[in-house]
Chains A and B, each alone.
Chain A
Amino acid sequence: MNDHDKIRELLALSVADALTRAEEEQVMNHARSCAECSSELDSWRLLAAGMRRLPTPQPRPLIVERARARAEIRFAEEAENRWHRIVMIGVILFAWALTLMSWPVVRLVSGGLLGMLDPRLNHAWMGFAVFTTIIWMTGGAAAVFLSLQQRRERRLA
């Protein structure tokens, strides 16, 4: 491929401003001395100018407003979901803290700390298991109830 052919390959990219400075200079220098490439470059320029002048279609105002409203609702929902996640993590941490803190209580009303350390199923273990299950089930039921209520409210809104 000679210089002329190489430059011809670059002409389209020249009008798209997609050449390096060195390549651009090469093209310009060649086009000054080559009538064929100069004419070719002009026709590419015309095409590029036409592309840049294409009309800009616009979305209907109704669609823009609908997009705005739907995006805002989604945005609010996302913020709400984030808040819920934070609250849920807080509640879980609190529940675990409460569970662990309940050990001394269990120890007090049952066979003492040594009973808790006994691997066999004894009163202390059963008491602790029942206590923990009640707490977690109550918490879970409350979470489900709140979630359902919120979903119902959102539907009504």
Chain B
Amino acid sequence: MGLESEVAQLRRGDLDALSALLTRYQNRLYRYLLRLVREPAEAEDLFQQTWIRVAEKIRQYDSRRNFEAWLFTVARNIAIDHLRRIRPQSLDEPIEGAPGESAATRLPSSERPVLDGIVERERTSRLAHALDLLPVTHREVLTLRFEEEMKLEEIAEVIDIPLSTVKTRLRRALDRLRQTLETHYPGEVWQ
């Protein structure tokens, strides 16, 4: 069953379609939420809230819109509200943590890519850590572009900013990521 058909069925009230959509997006949505809030327990809670909100709002979803962008917008709104309530400073400021350890690397994952040995794994771990140190706006745009592989137009729709701002933010985020890697891991291969 295709995505459009699942969404249409859900709008008609089919619970199986809800289950199918959840299965389809569970990993991507969770990863996105985790990148935003960094704490697995919070991401799990927001993950549940997102699907409850989807169940509530699916009839208001305009089927001419991109469902994926709509779904991520729902998740984003919930996550941003959460951050504003719990850690308002996290919307602007990066955090410091133990080098090499990040929310992403602490997680169990059955989908770890096969890398060429320990060095590669270590580099991935450092990159995940550097990503965690960025402000939420930068983490968000990077994960949407590189992990979710969204088009720039879709990112603009999710974040609700102009396309030109997406490009600017993306460039700044990449610059900042490289700077962070240079600061924390001087001499690393990225430079």
Contacts and interface: CB of A to CB of B under 8 A. Distances in A.
Interface string A98-125: 0000000000000000000000000000
B171 interface: yes
A50 B15 CA distance: 38
B130 to A, nearest CB: 10
Contacts of B171: 9, 12-13, 16, 18
Contact of A13 (B30, B40, B54, B170): B170
The bracket for how many chain B residues form the interface is 35 or more
Interface stretch (B1-9, B65-73, B174-182): B174-182
A59 B124 contact: no
Contacts of B146: 16, 48, 51-52, 54
Contacts of B58: 75
Interface in A1-55: 9, 12-13, 15-16, 18, 43-44, 46-48, 50-55
A52 B147 contact: yes
B17 to A, nearest CB: 10
A63 B31 CA distance: 14
Contact of A54 (B54, B108, B110, B128): B128
A122 to B, nearest CB: 50
B190 A57 contact: no
Contact of B22 (A16, A44, A56, A64): A64
A50 B113 contact: no
Nearest to A53: B113
B55 A55 contact: no
A9 B168 CA distance: 11
A74 B18 CA distance: 11
7 contacts: A16-B174, A18-B170, A51-B127, A54-B124, A64-B26, A67-B51, A75-B58
Interface of B: 13, 15, 18-19, 22, 26-28, 30-31, 34, 40, 43-44, 47-48, 50-52, 54-56, 58-59, 103-105, 107-113, 115, 123-124, 127-128, 131, 142, 145-147, 149, 152, 166-167, 170-171, 174-175, 177-178, 181, 189-191
